[in-house]
Amino acid sequence: MYSGCLRDCNMDTRNFGFIVVLICILITQAKAEDPYHFFEWKVTYGTISPLGVPTQVILINDKFPGPVINCTSNNNIVVNVFNNLDEPFLLTWNGVQQRKNSWVDGTPGTMCPIQPGTNFTYKFQVKDQIGSYYYFPTTALHKAAGGVGIIQVHSRPLIPVPFDNPADEFAVFVGDWFNKGHKALKNLLDGGNSIGHPEGIHINGKSAQVGTQAEPSWTFEAGKTYRFRFCNPGMRTSVNFRFQDHDMKLVEVEGSHLMQNEYMSMDLHVGQCMSVLVTADQPPKDYYLVVSSRFTKQVHTTVATIRYAGTNIPASPELPPPPPEKTAGIAWSINQFRSFRWNLTASAARPNPQGSYHYGQINITRTIKLVNSRNYIDGKLRFALNGVSHIDPKTPLKLSEYFGLAEKEFKYDIIPDMPPADIEKNVKIAPNVLNATYRNFVEIIFENHENTIQSYHLDGYSFFAVAIEPGRWSPEKRKNYNLEDALSRHNVAVFPGCWAAVMLTLDNAGMWSLRSEMWERFYLGQQLYVSVLSPERSLRDEYSLPETTQLCGIVTNLPKPPGYV
């Protein structure tokens, strides 16, 4: 089609501008020729018993966890999602950067939900990324019902990976579970109450206790090494995982290859993913993978069985101990975070190599400190960032902005970048949208004055997680930042009474969700959007509204504005 068009072009200097545009289209088109993976997904309710009690869950193609997206950097992914639920539905692709393409990010601020009985086709490219990510629903409280699956992005052939090819790889979702079901939980939140505490922890939708005769979840061949990709898609609970008698070598966290260290147990906070290698180097028998909740009043523990092929000797009932809890546990977990160092010599896919290697030397153009709070407004529970508890307007923010109707639906920059000390006192409910400048290098501080752990995620980017420390942040604390080899990732945990700092270049135009990954907090307002617009409104910086985008709210029947050029 495009070559036909090119033949028809009059190669005349007067048409030079036109040809430049054409070449741009051709380049975009050429990049789009990376391999495609097509998926057709049927989203339905089903019943499974992650904790032994039947609950309504969301299945994708009758599976929980849902289908694996197994791909390679720069592959194109096309997912036709059929919503067979009784409620509008959206999936987001946690950690997939959607470069120039927030149109398909799947958050309520970027897309109209897929109505029941209809389908929508997501099209995106996993551009310049490797690593472990996952998809999950962002509508209603669907996240409490599953609808999750792993996205594993391999390095391109010939790009060296800093460890030998594992014999196999296993996706493991570990997180908390509520038996009440997502509708009852949503009713609690809509009524101004908390969802309370989970009833337990599951491993890939199952839970077992020591001594019960469980079918093995994985089989090891003696002497071989396996990659486990762990993700925590839970509602609110950090977990710790550990293998009986086997150390783990941590090799990848949310798209970064690390300096490889051995660990006996790992903390995994809500929304995080990491890959560990485990070698089958122990006497052949069964072993447990143990997962327990962290920083909770009641500690929940669950196990899954690994069997060495050809044996049938039960696992020992003696479990490896969990790390400490309370203050000592926080210190333990912060130390573990600090032991994560980016392997600067390992090749990887990076969107912005110039920006990423020397992030410590770039001048900060904006510092935003975000303080979370828990409040009651008119007797109803809400959560806020810098005094604003976010609410989604009727139209996805990205759409009203693109149609030039933003001022009808929301105001930009209603929170201060540096909140005053009493910011938690006066909280209001409104759409919370930052107007950010394209290509600025920003520092975001998350300061947690509450006594519960927080977990934050930013769509559209990886950031450098340069510090987590106890107490309050001040500019002098910058001297404690890791400005050499911090991990580039999309999630950071903020412990009770602590702060965390991240740095990034805002080089991906779009409307991006910055949110608590703890879903009661997200649902009740602890989130905001960062609007990054390229002043040129150029196709080089952002794709135009895709033809297939569904419209809703105040833009429903409006003609689509001219696209970017």
Binding-site ranges for ligand NAG (CB under 6 A): 70, 72, 80, 119-121, 154, 160, 162, 259-260, 343, 345-346, 363, 412, 435, 437, 548
CB of 63 to ligand NAG, least distance (A): 15
Label the pairing between strands 366-377 and 380-385: antiparallel
Closer residue to ligand NAG (CB): 159 or 214: 159
d(CA 225, CA 256): 20
Residue 560, CA distances (Å) to 129, 258, 550 in order: 31, 45, 11
Residue 221, judged by CB atoms within 10 A of its CB (0-12, 13-18, 19+), counts as middle
Closer residue to ligand NAG (CB): 338 or 425: 338
Closer residue to ligand NAG (CB): 161 or 539: 161
The DSSP 8-state label assigned to residue 208 in this structure reads B
The answer to whether residues 434 and 528 touch, using CB atoms and an 8 Å cutoff, is yes
- Let me know how many helices (H) and strands (E) the chain has, helices first: 8, 32
Closer residue to ligand NAG (CB): 256 or 386: 256
CB of 412 to ligand NAG, least distance (A): 4
CB of 346 to ligand NAG, least distance (A): 4
Closer residue to ligand NAG (CB): 160 or 191: 160
Strand partners, 226: 168, 278
Closer residue to ligand NAG (CB): 49 or 260: 260
The answer to whether residues 303 and 208 touch, using CB atoms and an 8 Å cutoff, is yes
CB of 232 to ligand NAG, least distance (A): 22
CB of 371 to ligand NAG, least distance (A): 23
CB of 69 to ligand NAG, least distance (A): 10
3-class secondary structure for 314-376?
A: CCCCCCCCCCCCHHHHHHHHHHHHHCCCECCCCCCCCCCHHHHHCHHHCCCCEEEEEEEEEEE
d(CA 249, CA 226): 10
Closer residue to ligand NAG (CB): 8 or 164: 164
The answer to whether residues 176 and 143 touch, using CB atoms and an 8 Å cutoff, is no
Residue 555, CA distances (Å) to 103, 104, 116, 512 in order: 15, 17, 20, 20
Strand partners, 509: none
Contacts of 43 (CB under 8 A, 6+ apart): 58, 59, 60, 81, 82, 83, 84, 85, 89, 147
CB of 29 to ligand NAG, least distance (A): 20
d(CA 316, CA 288): 8
d(CA 325, CA 332): 9
d(CA 308, CA 118): 45
CB of 564 to ligand NAG, least distance (A): 17
Closer residue to ligand NAG (CB): 162 or 284: 162
Smallest CA-to-CA distance from 356 within 443, 492, 486, 510 is with 486
What H or E segment, with its residue span, contains residue 36? strand 36-48
Closer residue to ligand NAG (CB): 342 or 522: 342
Residue 465, judged by CB atoms within 10 A of its CB (0-12, 13-18, 19+), counts as buried
d(CA 375, CA 208): 37
Strand partners, 507: none
Q: Which residue has 């997680």 as its token pair?
A: 465
Closer residue to ligand NAG (CB): 72 or 238: 72
Closer residue to ligand NAG (CB): 3 or 363: 363
CB of 253 to ligand NAG, least distance (A): 13
Closer residue to ligand NAG (CB): 121 or 352: 121
Closer residue to ligand NAG (CB): 450 or 485: 485
d(CA 3, CA 229): 43
Residue 331, CA distances (Å) to 143, 162, 200, 324 in order: 30, 30, 25, 9
CB of 420 to ligand NAG, least distance (A): 22
CB of 334 to ligand NAG, least distance (A): 22
CB of 363 to ligand NAG, least distance (A): 4
CB of 559 to ligand NAG, least distance (A): 19
CB atoms within 10 A of CB 239: 28
CB of 70 to ligand NAG, least distance (A): 4
Closer residue to ligand NAG (CB): 165 or 557: 165
